[in-house]
Amino acid sequence: MRKSWFAAILLLFGLCGPAMAHFGMVIPSTPVVEDRDDSTVSVELSFSHPMEMNGMPLVKPRLVQVIVDGAAEDVGAALKPTKIMEHDAWKFQYAVKRPGVYAIVMEPEPYWEPAEDCFIIHYTKTYVAAFGEGEGWDEPTGLKTEIVPLTRPFGNYAGNVFQGLVMLDGKPVPHAEIEVEHYNRDGKHASPNEYLVTQVIKADGNGVFTYGVPFAGWWGFAALNTADEKMSHDGESKDVELGAVLWTEFVSPVLK
């Protein structure tokens, strides 16, 4: 009896606290390629709570593509298993051969999250700019849901303001909710309280959001919507959270 009572109390407190945000992650070794003799980019694919560095398993994604000048290249065959934050993840290498802005996109398999009683699908992307080219970053890639950058998603300083347009099925999403987290890869940052682990902002009536980036590093933006269709889990219909996730790096100036 006491065990049941204690479990109920723990469940109550867990439900009352802020939920931990999930982020699909597509992180390249560099967002800018300038040296033709060192133009191979390593890309890591994972699923995590990036600020707290808590990983979750990522099964082999359903789709991974590199898109440049409107042409999509499937790189799924190049994926190799790895471990990120002590959980199953994936990696691949991509040889950049010509100038362009390369969108790297991932569609994962649905992830069942018992704590939220729903499936999660995070359509995730990032950008790599090569050899001085800077066109095409503001074009949709055709994912079911995505954040289309309104600020160039590379070559930005920490402290810059970043803007993006949330889209679902090719249309803007008015007043979409966006979760924002820093990839705390080196463990140098600690949140003063739990509300600063995941920051939350809202898009305006046109689906546009604005965020001022406080310090350098990789930052993830996850715009969340619920799919019209449900999926079955243990014979019951469950909601599906669709996440449009964008990762971009902000840097500090180099001091002479």
For residue 4, is it within any domain? no
Q: What is the pLDDT of residue 19?
A: 53
- How many structural domains comprise the chain? 1
Q: What is the pLDDT of residue 21?
A: 84
Say which residue the tokens 């969108």 belong to.
Answer: 103
For residue 92, is it within any domain? yes
Q: pLDDT (tens digit, 9 = 90+) per residue, 201-221?
A: 999 999 999 999 999 999 999
What CATH number has the domain bearing residue 148? 2.60.40.10
For residue 209, is it within any domain? yes
For residue 106, is it within any domain? yes
Q: What is the pLDDT of residue 20?
A: 64
DSSP 108-134: PPPEEETTTTEEEEEEEEEEEEETT--
Q: What is the pLDDT of residue 254?
A: 85
Q: Are 124 and 105 in contact (CB under 8 A)?
A: yes
* Structural domain boundaries enclosing 221: 20-251
Q: Are 170 and 227 in contact (CB under 8 A)?
A: no
DSSP class of residue 158 equals T
Q: Rounded to whole angstroms, what are the CA distances from 191 to 51, 146, 197, 207?
A: 8, 27, 6, 28
Give the phi and the psi of residue 192 in degrees, each rounded to 5: -60, -30
Give the phi and the psi of residue 112 in degrees, each rounded to 5: -85, 125
Amino acid occupying residue 22: H
Q: Are 127 and 248 in contact (CB under 8 A)?
A: yes
Q: What is the pLDDT of residue 60?
A: 98
| Parts of the chain with a pLDDT under 70 | 1-20
For residue 199, is it within any domain? yes
Say which residue the tokens 């065990």 belong to.
Answer: 3
For residue 137, is it within any domain? yes
Q: What is the pLDDT of residue 9?
A: 37
Give the phi and the psi of residue 22 in degrees, each rounded to 5: -105, 145
Per DSSP bridges, beta strands 40-49 and 87-95 are antiparallel
DSSP class of residue 58 equals -
Q: Are 126 and 153 in contact (CB under 8 A)?
A: yes
For residue 13, is it within any domain? no
For residue 155, is it within any domain? yes
Say which residue the tokens 């469940």 belong to.
Answer: 11
Rounded Cα distance between 107 and 185, Å, is 23
